[in-house]
Chains A and B, each alone.
Chain A
């Protein structure tokens, strides 16, 4: 199948990919918000690239089969395992960097660049160099088989359930770690666990839908919707609304324009996030008006 075939709308080609992306879109913004709350948004750039570097590493190791054995591509579980390990390693480094009071950006951006370079070189040095472009970029066409679709959706639902349940304690650690420590909590441990959770989530979904899409879903909704959120509790739901509708609109755009689905979703995401933000803005405006009127009353007293 060539690019032209793939971008023609064929439901069976695209439906699994769109559903997989929607699954990822359920939970990724929640993680992006927590990274932002820890001044670690740059890790949202680095961790999907680290995961794709892990995928390349799986191919690199598969390039030297035991004597007499046939050269076989690593299966999806192996790719996910390698992606999670490399992403987890990077996030662990980032967590300890943060504890040392170093700016996270100063470690996240080198990790981002190193991951891209290492991924390219690992593919180049592997026996699968010719496959490199197709393997690296599943997010471009989003041609995904039903098993991978189910895994992406299940991961998204599970991630959403865990994050919705633990939102308050995780947010407490981000907002005021000192206060948490006086209550007997361990914010550094919670941060490390969050980072490893991000790595595990991204490690699972990146081999399925591609690093660029994961990056977009982690980073774009939180950045665009933060000004429109009227509370910490409303923020992730707004971001998820923006990301899931972005996947939907991306699918429609792909159908209408014959564009690759993954690329269309990335283009649609800012549009839907802004639209969701504007729909939510009356509540935010009301909040600002109440704040202004109470300040004015206090000033008169």
Chain B
């Protein structure tokens, strides 16, 4: 694959907080069909890289190249603030979806994270792991061309971790570009291809 074929290409990309570089320069390409895992020790810049690709942080230098029609869904480690609106799980997952046939999309997404029975529950009354699964379901429901996830399996039990990896591998097989920052790798027996971009520890040459 050439860089121009990739759904997302990083060109001499340096990422950081403000003007302070944390990681880079990076040259890499993320193509569809493969689950891309960004791994590395704490503080190496995994989340910063994911957030920069998502457009939440500006690049310190370099470029992120993707086709003009690219749509991105991002699932962070948590919501930005403790929710004080009594949003139901359904309302959270449905946010950003068009009104037409959102019910089916939400139902399918919740089933893929084993929360089909909690659609009417209040999001704020779920456990940390359940909230994480709802946010993943929200990203899955949107059917974007790129799916970015930050530590998607933290706080999850082994069975649910396996289920989430299976869902993400399935999405990659369907042609979505899936990139996840993670410390844990998918079980080897799951169907689907994944690749690892291992980042050096912070301060390493």
Contacts and interface: CB of A to CB of B under 8 A. Distances in A.
Question: Does A pair with B?
Answer: yes
Interface of A: 33, 36-37, 39, 168, 171-172, 174-183, 226, 229-235, 287-288, 290-291, 294, 297-298
B119 to A, nearest CB: 10
A244 to B, nearest CB: 20
A287 B138 contact: no
B121 A232 contact: no
Given A175-B85, A179-B74, A231-B88, A290 B121 contact: yes
9 contacts: A36-B84, A39-B81, A175-B85, A178-B76, A182-B56, A231-B86, A231-B90, A231-B122, A235-B85
A181 B91 contact: no
Contact of B55 (A39, A175, A182, A297): A182
A226 B148 CA distance: 33
A300 B112 CA distance: 19
Contacts of A290: 117, 120-121
Contact of A179 (B86, B88, B125, B138): B138
Contacts, number: 86
B86 A226 contact: yes
A287 B117 CA distance: 11
B103 to A, nearest CB: 14
Interface in B59-101: 72-74, 76, 79-81, 83-88, 90-92, 95-96
Contacts of A175: 79, 83, 85, 87, 92, 95
Given A175-B79, A182-B56, A232-B91, A291 B96 contact: no
B11 interface: no
Give the secondary structure class of A's interface: helix
Contact of A176 (B79, B88, B114): B79
Contacts of B81: 39
B143 interface: no
A182 B80 contact: no
B118 A37 contact: no
B85 A181 contact: no
A167 to B, nearest CB: 10
B86 A229 contact: yes
Contacts of B92: 175-176
B54 interface: yes
Given A172-B95, A176-B79, A178-B80, 5 more contacts: A176-B92, A182-B56, A182-B74, A231-B91, A290-B120
A177 B80 contact: yes
B118 A291 contact: yes
Contacts of B88: 230-232
Contact of B95 (A37, A176, A178, A226): A176
B72 A231 contact: no
A5 to B, nearest CB: 45
Contacts of A174: 85
Give 7 closest A-B pairs by Cβ, nearest first.
A294-B117, A182-B74, A291-B121, A229-B86, A37-B85, A232-B87, A231-B88
A97 B155 CA distance: 34
A40 to B, nearest CB: 10
B15 to A, nearest CB: 16
B79 A287 contact: no
Contact of B54 (A39, A168, A177, A182): A182
Contacts of A37: 83-85
B125 to A, nearest CB: 7
B121 A181 contact: no
Contacts of A235: 85-86
A174 B54 CA distance: 20
A176 B117 CA distance: 23
Contacts of B76: 178-179
A181 B74 CA distance: 10
